[in-house]
Amino acid sequence: MSTDPPPRSRMKPERLAELFDAVRELLLDVGYERLTFDAVASRARTSKATLYRHWAGSKADLVMAALTQHRPALPDHAGAASLDEVFAEMARTDGMPNRDLRMGLMLLHAAAADPAFGAALRKEIITPGVDALAGIFEAAADRGEIVRDAPLFRRLAHVILADLAFSPLLSGQEDDAASRRELFRTVIRPALTFTGHPRDGRSS
């Protein structure tokens, strides 16, 4: 499965953005399994031949292109002095909109039904987020704050992403700064082995 964008010479960026908007709207309206090239062509006011020319008839490639075009920026905490400072910054970030929660649930269902699509989803969407979060823990280990444990770091990254994505659905409560601070205080921080490094300000 290829996620390379179609050639710029064949479709202007503005038109491509409109097309990808139509794909994402259809995903929310009908789901991945019922999304078709005919439906996308109708919603985007383009021809099915144009879609086939760019994506060779692969619905999965078209959907993944639309998702990666709209992918949120990964967290950047390179200037943080401590892990607790990073946790505080992450707690202040905006929660996941209800629209994104619906999209996430639909994509998980699609990934379960289509293993090839699931593999692409992990590669293009999920793994970069896990890498970014694990990198935060690796940076803290470089500073001497915590004991390095790469498998644990990636597992905690999974926990954070799952909580941010699905906590409102599971708890029935809004995802806000207080709930994220609670996640870091009661789950993430206790799972790590702190060294008592002076920049952390706490003992293990």
List, for residues 21-37, the tens digit of each pLDDT value: 999 999 999 999 999 99
State whether 90 and 185 are in the same domain. yes
The answer on 147 and 93 residing in a single domain is yes
Say which amino acid occupies 158.
H
* Confidence band, pLDDT 50/70/90 cuts, at residue 96: low
Whether the predicted pLDDT of 81 surpasses 80: yes
78 located within any domain: no
Say if residue 124 is in the same domain as residue 88.
yes
Determine the Cα–Cα distance for residues 171 and 174; give it in Å rounded to an integer. 8
In a domain, 54, yes or no: yes
Q: 134 and 154 in contact (C-beta within 8 Å)?
A: yes
Q: Are residues 37 and 132 in the same domain?
A: no
**Which amino acid, one-letter code, is at 150?**
A
Instruction: Please tell me whether residues 94 and 162 are part of one structural domain.
Output: yes
Do 92 and 162 have their domain in common? Answer: yes
Nearest-Å Rg of the Cα atoms of the chain is 20
Q: Is residue 1 part of a domain?
A: no
Domain shared by 91 and 185, yes or no: yes
Mean pLDDT, rounded, for 41-53? 92
- The helix (H) or strand (E) run that includes residue 22 is helix 13-30
Q: Is the same domain home to 112 and 184?
A: yes
Q: Is residue 199 part of a domain?
A: no
Looking at the structure, tell me whether residues 93 and 44 fall in a common domain: no
Q: Are residues 58 and 110 in the same domain?
A: no
Please tell me whether residues 148 and 93 are part of one structural domain. yes
As a whole number of angstroms, the distance between CA 98 and CA 60 comes to 24
- Domain hosting 36: range is 13-69
Q: Which residue has the higher pLDDT, 20 or 179?
A: 20
CATH number at residue 30: 1.10.10.60
**What is the total count of domains within the chain?**
2
Model confidence pLDDT, tens digit, residues 168-184: 777 777 777 888 899 99
Q: Mean pLDDT in the chain?
A: 85
One domain, residues 106 and 58: no
